[in-house]
Every structure is written in structure tokens, then in C-alpha cells.
Amino acid sequence: MRSMQKAPGYKQKLDWTEEGYNSGLVYVQLKIDKKPVGFIEYAPGEAAWRVVHADGYMVIHCLWVGVTGMGYGTQLIQQCIQDAKQLGKKGVVVLSNADTSWAPESSIFKKNGFEYVGKAPYSFELYVYKFRDDPNPYFPDNWNERLERFNQGLTILRTDQCPYLEVATQNIIQAAKSVNIEPEIIHIRDRSEMMELSPTPYGVFNVIFQGQLISFHRLTPHSFAKKLIAIIKD
């Protein structure tokens, strides 16, 4: 959203990032000739905004590269690994999903020595780069119970971690109005609440309707409305 700096989501992300620095959040931007070509965001496992038990590890939130084939992604990953080593961490953890670009794809991490250590519903996988023989990070195992908490109506669980989550939320509100549904919005403010409530490992954005996951990433209002209508008809 660099070209949309007046957008609410952009401002929310800036505030969220500044607050996260107090808990060890790191944001690294790679520039070539003063032009951004990639970035990586990561945080200590105890303060990470992904639903994974990874105390003592560094957890990657996001990895983005605008120019492929130049090794920029590897440079950013290696920067994270070196930071984790210097801080005495057990290693580095990343949440991957091959079905959506809202979580990093695993291939670049495998090339950089990360190993698969777990899976969760909706195609989520967990990878780790370990510095020594410590216990692996792991996912919770009560995903169905988490969904069952939201078996009535439409619920949006959101944070400000991604600048596009405000747009995603407004798209759901628009879709819900088109089918005469009033959503409940739960704005998650801390990691402990996210770890308790989120029905997916992504953690920072989830939409549930009558106990079924609608999405954990942005969709158009039309796509959201189609999903809602399909569940209503069932």
C-alpha cells in the first residue's frame, strides 16, 4: 500500500508496527537504487502474530519480493537467520500455505534449509530452521473447537497486522449487507487473545459464518456474498 498512504489500513499498519517494536518486531526492507524490491517481517515466538507455539524461536510473518530471480528473497531470509543467531534464538519458524499468497510458499524456505515439522487444516504447514537440537515448534490441535465457538451468525476476527485487512473487513461488511446479515467484528489487540480465538494458524484475519470458515484472507464482496449464500442454502 505504499501508494495509498492515506488509506486507513496503511495508517493502522504503521501504528501496529510501531507498537510491535516494543516486543521485538523486526521489519527489513531491501532497496536497489532507492527502490524497494522486497521486505521481511518477523518477531520472537512469544510475541509473534501467527498461531504457533514457538517460544525461543524467531517467527517470520511475511516475505515479499517484487523482483524474482535475483536472490532477494534468500537475502532477506538469511538476514532473519543471522538476527536470530545473534539474539540466541533456537532457530527460525515460518508458516506456509501453497493455496494462497497470504502466507509464504514453502519452496524458497526449503532451499534455505528449513524443514517441515507440522500441518494444520486449510493447507497450512510449519517449517523450521534449527540451530541446535531443541523441541520443534508446533500448532495447537483444537481447530474444530475454535470454530464451534462461532456457530451463530457471521463473525470477523481481525487485527491491524496487514494493511489490507481494513479493505478485507469492509468487503465482508458490504457482502453481509447484500444478504441482510449483520456481522460481529472482534478486533484482536494482543497475542494471547489471538492464540485463544483464531480458528486458523494465520491468526490475524478470519471470517466464520455459522461455525464454518469463510476465509482467512481478503476476497471481493461478490466472492464473500457467494460463500455466505451457499451456506445459507445448505
Q: What is the spatial distance between Cα 186 and Cα 157, in angstroms, rounded to a whole number?
A: 5
| Cβ pair 49, 61 in contact under 8 A | yes
Q: Which amino acid is at 195?
A: M
What are the CA-CA distances from residue 144 to residues 9, 10, 40, 209 (Å)?
Answer: 30, 33, 31, 14
Burial of 61 (0-12, 13-18, 19+ CB in 10 A): buried
Q: What is the edge-to-edge ordering of all strands in the sheet holding 35-44?
A: 26-32, 35-44, 58-65, 91-97, 124-130, 115-120
Q: What is the spatial distance between Cα 226 and Cα 203, in angstroms, rounded to a whole number?
A: 23
In this prediction, residue 52 carries a pLDDT of 98
Q: What are the cell numbers at 66?
A: 517484487
Encode pLDDT of 68-90 as tens digits. Answer: 889 999 999 999 999 999 999 99
At 126 the three-state DSSP class reads strand
DSSP per-residue string spanning 37-70: EEEEEEEEGGG-SSS-B-TTSEEEEEEEESSTTS
pTM confidence score: 0.93
Encode pLDDT of 108-150 as tens digits. Answer: 999 999 999 999 999 999 999 999 999 999 999 999 999 999 9
**Distant-in-sequence, close-in-space partners of 121: CB < 8 Å, separation ≥ 6:** 143, 200
